[in-house]
Structure 1
Amino acid sequence: MFKHLGKHLILELWGCDRKALDDEEGIRDMLIKSVEACNATLICVKTHKFCPQGVTGVAVLAESHIAIHTYPEYGYAALDIFTCGEHTDPYKALDVLKEFLKPESWQIIDLKRGIMENMGTFELK
């Protein structure tokens, strides 16, 4: 029986709303709503607006983090949602992200972090 400590989603979002990708305050609000949606505990949010364009943001969680880096010139956003604990579900943040960024296409890589066997550590060979 395998168990894992965390769920880590890597998201590739293409064809996003270019104005949204360059909206620092909107990105900040999106991160906060994403934290609430996945039932995580927000510690703090930090964003930075680049010149001439783009935003980086991170929501630091008691259960890990949600991070974004945007490329408005390409309509692209790279996101990272990492949560730990049985009470969190990173997939529940997806609707919030899609509503704000409006991607035409996306790819999700779903990683299980801290895989354990029988409550002990499990080494992959």
Structure 2
Amino acid sequence: MAIKLKGSCISTSSFSPFNVKFEKKKSTSYGSTIICILTESHASIHTYPEYNSCFVDLFTCGKHCSHEPFDTVLQKYLKPAIVQKRVLIRN
């Protein structure tokens, strides 16, 4: 998946200067939280199977990381019936 995510700064060190750490922690409840820590950013996915839902947060810093490759790959993988997206530009 790292190759597909090239350009989103979520990749192995051979594709970008970012160090990536993936951590998946199953909570005591039914859902899971998956967190990807990047050098200057992070992404998280919170699942709620009892509601057939998940919530994704992607935070990037600087102007060299784009959320679009991450969003595209995730939507192709999950095939959601409904997508609600909000992009915030912070200065």
TM-score, length-normalised on structure 1?
0.57
The number of equivalent residue pairs is 84
Which segments of structure 1 move beyond 4 Å, counting only runs of 4 or more? 32-35
Q: Which runs of 5+ in 1 are unaligned?
A: 1-28, 116-125
Distance, in Å, in 2 between the alignment partners of 1:33 and 1:46 is 19
- 1:90 paired with 2:67, answer yes
Could you tell me whether the CA contact under 8 Å between 2:5 and 2:69 is conserved in 1?
A: no
State the partner residue of 1:38.
8
Aligned residues: CA RMSD: 2.3
Could you tell me whether the CA contact under 8 Å between 1:33 and 1:96 is conserved in 2?
A: no
- Deviation of 1:89 after TM superposition, in Å, equals 0.3
Distance, in Å, in 2 between the alignment partners of 1:96 and 1:37 is 12
The structure whose Rg is larger is 1
State the partner residue of 1:9.
none
State the partner residue of 1:60.
37
1:48 corresponds, among 16, 22, 25, to 25
Question: What is the DSSP-based 3-state SS (H/G/I as helix, E as strand, rest coil) of the residue aligned with 2:70?
Answer: helix
| 1:1-125 aligned within 5 A | 36-40=6-10, 41-51=18-28, 53-113=30-90, 115=91
Q: Which protein has the bigger strand share?
A: 1
Q: Which protein has the bigger helix share?
A: 1
Distance, in Å, in 1 between the alignment partners of 2:84 and 2:23 is 25
**Structure 1's 69 and 48: CA in aligned 2 closer, same or farther, altered over 3 A?**
same
State, as a whole percentage, how many aligned pairs show the same letter.
33
Q: Which has the higher contact order (CA 8 A, sep 6+)?
A: 1
Q: Which runs of 5+ in 2 are unaligned?
A: 11-17
Distance, in Å, in 1 between the alignment partners of 2:5 and 2:26 is 21
